[in-house]
Amino acid sequence: MILATICCRGGSKGVPDKNIRPLNGVPLIDHTIRQAQTSELIDDLIISTDDERIAKIALEAGAKVPFIRPAELASDSSSKWPVFVHALEFYEKELGVTVEYLVDLDVTVPLKTANDIDGAIGLALDNPDTEVVITGYEPERNPYFNMMEIRKDGLAELVKQSETPIVRRQDAPQVYSLSPAAFVIKRSALYSYPHWSKAPCMIYPMPRERALDIDTALDFDLIEFLLNRK
């Protein structure tokens, strides 16, 4: 049983009301709801939110909002991991089922597709020893080649050191920037690890242009431009 969650709080600081702000005339959350609804591998979708306005808009888009998230799981410092556990346990108790995989979909990546979501889920299903699959994209810079960090003595050095200096970017180990488009989490991982980064993990690659993440008002404008160009 594969359960998708869309976990979004009210009160965004960077972009006010980000999760329900119109993008191309449609509330931002609606884009992700539609993507989940057209997935071929997701069995059910629920929304976890502390905001009645988000809940109302999600219901109007055809999503289920079985609860309002408790305040202690909706603060600025709240980790998503216990939010996932709360949603999973509520769903299992209410329906009397056992969820095998939880797939969290972030509304701030509105250009993802159902194929991206199903690709990540498929990778998890094909690799049962892997407990977390995360979407990611090839970054502009590589920490083995052209990313520097400042040491305590003020000098700069490569973020990742190798035995032999890497003189071509093509020779550097493959790295990915994470995208919150889809996090596929095996049920057991939620109880075995304090954080997804501690679990056996794989990356599902997706194109950078579909992995764009909204953090600022400028990001909204950029993604709206890309949507209209399509």
Q: Does the pLDDT of residue 11 top 80, yes or no?
A: no
Would the CA dihedral through 32, 37, 43, 44 be positive or negative? positive
Task: Report yes or no: 181 and 135 within 8 Å, Cβ to Cβ.
Answer: yes
At 230, the pLDDT band (50, 70, 90 cuts) reads: low
Task: Report yes or no: 46 and 89 within 8 Å, Cβ to Cβ.
Answer: no
Provide the b/e sequence for 147-160 (b: ≥16 CB within 10 Å): eeeeeeeeeeebee
Rounded CA-CA distance 81/21 in Å is 25
Structure tokens at 58: 């999600």
Task: Provide the mean pLDDT of the chain.
Answer: 93
Q: Does the pLDDT of residue 196 top 80, yes or no?
A: yes
Q: How many CB atoms lie within 10 A of CB 53?
A: 13
pLDDT number for residue 166: 84
Q: How many CB atoms lie within 10 A of CB 185?
A: 25
pLDDT tens digits, one per residue of 88-146: 999 999 999 999 999 999 999 999 999 999 999 999 999 999 999 999 999 988 888 88
Task: Report yes or no: 103 and 121 within 8 Å, Cβ to Cβ.
Answer: yes
Q: Stretch 217-229: mean pLDDT, rounded?
A: 90
Task: Report yes or no: 38 and 120 within 8 Å, Cβ to Cβ.
Answer: no
pLDDT number for residue 122: 98
Q: Does the pLDDT of residue 213 top 70, yes or no?
A: yes
At 169, the pLDDT band (50, 70, 90 cuts) reads: confident
Structural domains present in the chain: 2-139+176-229 (3.90.550.10)
pLDDT tens digits, one per residue of 42-94: 999 999 999 999 999 999 999 999 999 998 888 877 789 999 999 999 999 99
pTM above 0.85, yes or no: yes
Structure tokens at 41: 């591998």
